[in-house]
């Protein structure tokens, strides 16, 4: 079925021409316009089968992995056969075989490579080699965003890359993506201060006034910290036509509204993009105007919410992906498997996230069942000419990034929601680390360590407000917690510990925030 009323993918803005980056972008751009939902649904298994054959042919470790799992590679002939192959993980594949056997044959001597290290959150760092193919794929996603952002390519634009720079992928990949866009005809100026607030504010103060447009890129809690802390550095966001690019973790629609309100951005569908990426595969999927619209519709319609998302009590990131670059499928237990990569091919890689996959046609149908006309809603939102019939992937934060309290699973996003109150904006940054601990009598309790804004003092009244907000959110979000609260009262209340701004114990500003600490 072709939903032509919603398919118009190429921006009417200035066409960017003239370099090898256009050669990387143009074929994908053409498919975005010509393929409908059914085409993309067929492309997903075809891509997985193709990558499987490449891995069997080129990667010694993958052949050994299949043998260890009792899989005869020659018996995998169809896309349906691929679904029977056991997924690979860090434990059973990446760390189980020598590094040199995981790569394509001859990769180290055959082409220029860049190494990225995983964060090490689940073990020691693992090094992922990549070629420019990964950078080009990131460019495609970022270019789709900037072309639909409403920014003017004729006006000077400053891109501030505030992701961590170094062996991690976020900062360098973002830089490479925007550099390619700039060299392809959009005159961007890039600066890469990383997670260095002093450098960011100095750049915005000294060279920022020369620019009319600004794109700020960084981890969500760090971006919020920068935006909230700007006034004390004399930085006024409303002087720029501003956009924001985030990655690495989920955030709520309330968080998006907060960023918009603080910066003067007006359009929720074009102003802030969240990226679903990884060290292993680079930029895998991104929010689009349509995915943001669909998510916001679901937040306001319980029936649609339950139809779209497998865990109706949690708000996932909702993104669209291009199956020719990276492909996704949902596992029987709610796992999300990714297929892609280049120097290190990944086939049905269990990346550690929970969620699901559905097509554009599925989204339209589910909306109809909930009494919503998605076509009309897209037109009403002013994004009908930007809608792509790409498939969707939705992700909850990593399956291992949660803790338990008397049997109830406590997710960071539920605690985040409890702290997102306008009355707290000038008191706390929104960053926290939670852990389940035990007192001297072996009673279990939830400890939530919360970062204060600069100059804010610890106080019992503030702590009481925070506890109340967290309990209210957990009670509304978790039936198990609610039942425990009814029966156990304040024994399941969190113990809130307030910390000075950027205290190194839990809030080191040089990296990603660790929301959950295993006891």
- Please report, in tens digits, the pLDDT of each residue of the chain (519 residues total): 333 333 344 443 334 444 556 666 677 877 887 899 999 999 999 999 999 999 999 999 999 999 999 999 999 999 999 999 999 999 999 999 999 999 998 778 778 899 998 755 444 778 999 999 999 999 999 999 999 999 999 999 999 999 888 888 999 999 999 999 999 889 999 999 998 889 999 999 999 999 999 999 998 878 988 998 899 999 999 999 999 999 987 888 988 998 999 999 999 999 999 999 998 999 999 999 999 999 999 999 999 999 999 887 778 999 999 999 999 999 988 999 999 988 999 999 998 888 999 999 999 999 999 999 999 999 999 999 999 999 999 998 665 678 888 777 888 889 999 998 889 989 999 999 999 988 776 678 999 999 999 999 888 899 999 999 999 999 988 877 888 888 778 888 999 999 999 999 999 876 678 899 876
Same domain, 244 and 355: yes
Q: Give how many domains the chain has, as a whole number.
A: 2
Q: Taking a C-beta distance cutoff of 8 angstroms, is the pair 451, 503 a contact?
A: yes
Whole-number pLDDT of residue 443? 72
Q: Which long-range contacts (CB under 8 A, 24 or more apart) does 465-470 make?
A: 465/423, 465/424, 466/418, 466/419, 466/424, 466/428, 466/496, 467/493, 467/494, 467/496, 469/418, 469/419, 469/421, 469/424, 470/415, 470/418, 470/419, 470/494, 470/496
With contact defined as beta carbons under 8 Å apart, do 212 and 151 qualify?
no
Q: Give the global pTM.
A: 0.83
Distance between CA atoms of 478 and 205, rounded to whole angstroms? 45
pLDDT of residue 1: 37
Residue at 442 is within a domain: yes
CA angle, residues 309, 312, 316, in degrees to nearest 5 = 55
Q: How far is CA 407 from CA 328, 403, 445, in A?
A: 31, 9, 11
The two tokens of residue 313 are 């009590």
Task: Fill in the DSSP letter of residue 294.
Answer: H
Shared domain check, 289 and 411? no
| N- to C-terminal Cα separation, the chain | 51
**pLDDT computed for residue 26 by the predictor:** 74
Domain assignment of residue 229, yes or no: yes
Clarify whether residues 252 and 371 are in a common domain. Answer: yes
**Final residue of a domain: which of 375, 396, 417?**
396
- CATH (domain of 477): 3.30.300.30
Residues 6 or more apart from 445 whose CB is under 8 A from it? Answer: 405, 436, 437, 438, 439, 491, 494, 495
Residue 439 domain flag? yes
Closest C-alpha among 306, 395, 299, 386 to residue 352: 395
Return the residue matching tokens 């009590």.
Answer: 313
Q: Are residues 179 and 246 in the same domain?
A: yes
Last residue of a domain, one of 396, 425, 452: 396
Yes or no: say if 339 and 327 are a contact pair by the CB < 8 Å rule. yes
Q: Which of 362, 396, 430 corresponds to the end of one domain?
A: 396
Residues composing the chain: 519
User: What is the β-pairing status of strands 127-130 and 114-117?
Assistant: antiparallel
Rounded Cα gap, residues 501 and 509, in angstroms: 10
Query: Whose CA is closest to 492, among 428, 427, 407, 431?
Result: 407
* 187 shares its domain with 208: yes
413 and 440 part of one domain = yes
Query: Looking at residue 306, what is its pLDDT?
Result: 95
Non-local (6+) Cβ contacts of 168 within 8 A are 116, 117, 119, 279
**Helices of type H across 149-239:** 169-183, 197-206, 220-229
Domain check: are 372 and 430 in the same one?
Answer: no
State the CATH number of the domain containing residue 136. 3.40.50.2300
pLDDT at 221: 78
* pLDDT value at residue 24: 65
Q: Using CA atoms, how far apart are residues 513 and 415, in angstroms rounded to an integer?
A: 14
Question: Torsions phi, psi of 140, nearest 5?
Answer: -60, -50
What is the DSSP code (8-state) at residue 88?
A: B
Identify the pLDDT of residue 510.
66
Domain-embedded: residue 120: no
Q: What is residue 517's predicted lDDT score, i.e. its pLDDT? A: 87
3-state secondary structure of 141: helix
Expressed as residue numbers, the domain containing 26 is: 4-42+130-396
Domain annotation covers residue 513: no
Q: Are residues 369 and 408 in the same domain?
A: no
Given this model, what pLDDT does residue 15 score? 42
pLDDT of residue 441: 67
Burial of 325 (0-12, 13-18, 19+ CB in 10 A): buried
- Together in a domain, 301 and 433: no
Question: How would you class 1 by CB atoms within 10 Å of its CB: exposed for 0-12, middle for 13-18, buried for 19 or more?
Answer: exposed
Does 306 lie in the same domain as 204?
A: yes
**Residues 6 or more apart whose Cβ sits within 8 Å of residue 420:** 252, 254, 255, 258, 430
Residue 391: what pLDDT? Answer: 98
118 phi and psi angles, rounded to 5 deg: -65, 165
Is residue 459 domain-shared with residue 367, that is, in the same domain?
Answer: no
Shortest CA distance to 135 belongs to which of 281, 337, 245? 281
Is 428 inside any structural domain?
yes
Q: Is residue 239 part of a domain?
A: yes
Contact 29, 412 (CB under 8 A): no
CA dist., res. 106 & res. 104, Å (int):
6
Tokens coding 58? 């080129």
Spatial distance between the Cα atoms of 147 and 22, rounded to a whole number of angstroms: 14
Residues forming a β-bridge with 395: 317, 355
Residues 357, 440: one domain?
no
Place of tokens 């910066």: 263
């Amino acid at each position: 079925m072709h939903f032509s009323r919603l398919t118009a993918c190429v921006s009417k803005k200035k066409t960017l021409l003239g370099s090898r980056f256009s050669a990387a972008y143009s074929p994908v751009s053409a498919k975005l316009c010509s393929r409908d939902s059914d085409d993309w649904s067929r492309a997903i298994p075809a891509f997985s089968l193709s990558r499987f054959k490449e891995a069997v042919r080129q990667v010694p470790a993958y052949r050994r992995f299949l043998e260890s799992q009792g899989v005869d590679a020659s018996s995998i002939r169809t896309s349906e056969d691929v679904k029977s192959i056991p997924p690979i993980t860090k434990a059973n594949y990446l760390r189980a075989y020598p590094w040199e056997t995981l790569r394509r044959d001859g990769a180290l001597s055959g082409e220029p490579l860049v190494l990225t290290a995983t964060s090490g959150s689940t073990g020691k760092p693992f090094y992922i080699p990549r070629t420019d193919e990964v950078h080009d794929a990131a460019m495609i996603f970022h270019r789709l965003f900037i072309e639909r952002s409403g920014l003017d390519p004729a006006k000077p634009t400053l891109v501030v890359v505030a992701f961590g720079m170094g062996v991690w992928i976020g900062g360098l990949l973002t830089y490479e993506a925007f550099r390619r866009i700039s060299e392809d005809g959009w005159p961007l100026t890039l600066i890469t201060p990383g997670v260095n607030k002093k450098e960011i504010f100095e750049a915005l103060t000294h060279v920022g006034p020369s620019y009319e447009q600004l794109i700020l890129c960084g981890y969500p809690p760090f971006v919020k910290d920068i935006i909230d802390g700007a006034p004390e550095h004399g930085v006024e966001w409303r002087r720029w036509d501003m956009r924001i690019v985030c990655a690495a973790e989920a955030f709520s629609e309330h968080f998006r509204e907060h960023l918009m309100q603080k910066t003067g951005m007006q359009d929720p569908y074009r102003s802030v993009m969240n990226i679903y990426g990884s060290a292993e595969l680079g930029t895998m999927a991104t929010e689009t105007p349509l995915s943001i619209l669909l998510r916001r519709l679901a937040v306001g319609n319980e029936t649609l919410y339950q139809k779209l998302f497998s865990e109706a009590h949690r708000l996932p990131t909702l993104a669209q992906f291009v199956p020719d670059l990276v492909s996704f499928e949902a596992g029987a237990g709610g796992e999300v498997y990714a297929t892609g990569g280049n120097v290190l091919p990944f086939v049905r890689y269990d990346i550690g996230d929970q969620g699901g996959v559905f097509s554009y046609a599925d989204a339209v149908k589910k909306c109809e069942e909930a009494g919503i006309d998605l076509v009309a809603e897209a037109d009403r939102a002013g994004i009908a000419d930007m809608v792509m019939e790409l498939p969707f992937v939705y992700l909850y934060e990593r399956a291992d990034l949660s803790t338990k309290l008397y049997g109830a699973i406590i997710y960071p996003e539920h605690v985040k929601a409890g702290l997102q109150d306008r009355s707290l904006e000038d008191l706390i940054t929104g960053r926290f680390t939670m852990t389940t601990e035990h007192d001297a009598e072996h009673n279990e309790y939830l400890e939530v360590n919360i970062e204060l804004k600069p100059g804010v003092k610890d106080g019992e009244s503030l702590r009481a407000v925070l506890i109340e907000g967290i309990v209210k959110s957990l009670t509304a979000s978790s039936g198990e917690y609610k039942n425990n609260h009814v029966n156990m009262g304040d024994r399941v209340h969190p113990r809130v510990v307030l910390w000075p701004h950027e205290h190194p114990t839990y809030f080191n500003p040089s990296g990603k925030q660790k929301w959950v600490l295993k006891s």
